[in-house]
Structure 1
């Protein structure tokens, strides 16, 4: 079985995802899938005159990309039971088309459950752009398998 088990993880453990550039195609496709065609994301002329100076990526798109980047690490490929919760997620700064993002993750809580085959792992996640500026942050909660004790 590939991946870290709940019992392998320690509070304070950190890991960083690969980077990914947010593209025009990402924004257009996400607008179509989500139905969110707000001016912030679709009207270049209006947004040139805005505080942002150009269109911005959907916050939920960036969050979705981050879940994919975290999955690319492969460290919980076979041990993740479920993605359970997002806590206190904040959209700190806009992400522009062409920005390159990554996620820095730190394990902040580990709680065994009443079921001996799993535990709850909480990670503080910071999404950073190419300038190392935090653009989103919060906590992601997952159920992770525990190794059977013989």
Structure 2
């Protein structure tokens, strides 16, 4: 079970989860570029990308971070109040069109904000491809309610 479906005060340090896989497509990249206006040539120009060290187009790192949120954050999590921030975000390997990524999350810290009401959960938030290669690493923080509190 994904621990983000629980309340802040029910979650323990060291809890982990792994999500299902999701394949990154050319459509994902084109839609991301259209939405953000980021048409960088390494993501959108096949001929250019063939001449680089990667040999092909790569997905924008922030797209991979966004897909990780979609994989890891339950759509109906009762206790999530807000995304509190991301620290140490690194894109450590390329994600190519056709790669299947999954998220591995682990609770690495808990900070009470208002005793008994809410707190910040700090997560090791890592994305791996189908070869178990780490492609993105970060520490994600989420503001969450304690049981009995509403968002």
Same fold judged by TM-score > 0.5? yes
1:99 aligns with 99
1:129 aligns with 129
What RMSD in Å do the two structures reach over aligned CA positions? Answer: 1.7
The 2-side partners of 1:8 and 1:96 are apart by 37
Gaps of at least 5 residues in structure 2 are: none
Matches within 5 A, 1:83-94: 83-94=83-94
Shift of 1:92: 0.3
The 2-side partners of 1:139 and 1:21 are apart by 23
Cα deviation digits, residues 20-79 of structure 1 (max 9, x gap): 00001000000101111111011101111211010000001100000000124x6x7111
Aligned residues: 146
The 1-side partners of 2:20 and 2:28 are apart by 17
Matches within 5 A, 1:43-82: 43-72=45-74, 77-82=77-82
Gaps of at least 5 residues in structure 1 are: none
Give the 3-state SS of the residue equivalent to 1:98 in structure 2.
coil
TM-score (norm 1): 0.92
The 1-side partners of 2:114 and 2:33 are apart by 41
Candidates 31, 41, 56, aligned match of 1:29: 31
TM-score (norm 2): 0.91
